[in-house]
Amino acid sequence: MTKLHIQQLDKITIKSSSNPSCALVITDSSIKNDIVMFISHIHVHNKPLIKTPHHTVHIISSEVELFAIRCGINQAFNLSDISKIIVVTGSIHVAKRIFYSFTHPFQVHTVTILKELWSFFSCHQDNSIKFWECSSRSNWILHKAVDKETKSFNPMSPFPCKMS
């Protein structure tokens, strides 16, 4: 990730924080002992941070990232007067799957996201959504905070005898 890319993310953050109709959704996930933790942070002008942690077991990272994006979009969509959603994820390749019409194992999430996006775009012709990539290795402050939270999660296995 280049310094220029991080500067662009900073500009987007500043611009979105001054716009009360813009939601900035930042997602990340972490896997420990077959337990996946994923978090969506949603930043909206003059509103408290919306933080949604989830965890599950025995799931692959692509499905987790897609579900985290789905949850973030859903929560942003359900906020009043939001017309622009910006999703920042470390898995842009997973986000691109949302718009593939080909068969893939995560179509349940894709169909749900597309249904939510259809409703969002049907509300007003100026509604928009953008996706940005930000890897966990970057030093962009907002993604770093989400990444730190997912990695600090101390999983408790539902089967303690199976923990390694």
Q: What is the reported pLDDT for 133?
A: 87
User: Is 10 among the domain residues?
Assistant: no
* Residue 138 · residue 95 · CB < 8 Å: no
Q: What is the mean pLDDT of the chain?
A: 78
pLDDT tens-digit map of 47-66: 777 777 777 776 666 777 77
Prediction pTM value: 0.77
Arithmetic mean of pLDDT, 27-37: 76
In the DSSP assignment, the letter for residue 141 is H
Whether the pLDDT of residue 67 is over 50: the answer is: yes
User: Is 147 among the domain residues?
Assistant: yes
User: Is 122 among the domain residues?
Assistant: yes
* pLDDT band, residue 11 (cuts 50/70/90): very high
User: Is 125 among the domain residues?
Assistant: yes
pLDDT tens-digit map of 108-160: 667 777 787 888 888 888 899 898 888 777 778 888 888 887 777 665 555 55
Rounded Cα gap, residues 125 and 122, in angstroms: 7
Q: What is the reported pLDDT for 164?
A: 44
Per the structure, the complete domain to which residue 39 belongs is given by 20-154
Which residue do the tokens 């999983």 mark?
Answer: 155
User: Is 3 among the domain residues?
Assistant: no
User: Is 27 among the domain residues?
Assistant: yes
User: Is 37 among the domain residues?
Assistant: yes
Q: How many domains does the chain have?
A: 1
Q: Could you tell me the CATH number of the domain that includes residue 115?
A: 3.30.420.10
Residues whose CB is less than 8 angstroms from the CB of residue 17 and which lie 6 or more positions away in sequence, other chains included: 24, 43, 45
b/e burial code for range 49-65 (CB count within 10 A of at least 16 → b): ebebeebeeebeebbbb
Rounded Cα gap, residues 74 and 163, in angstroms: 33
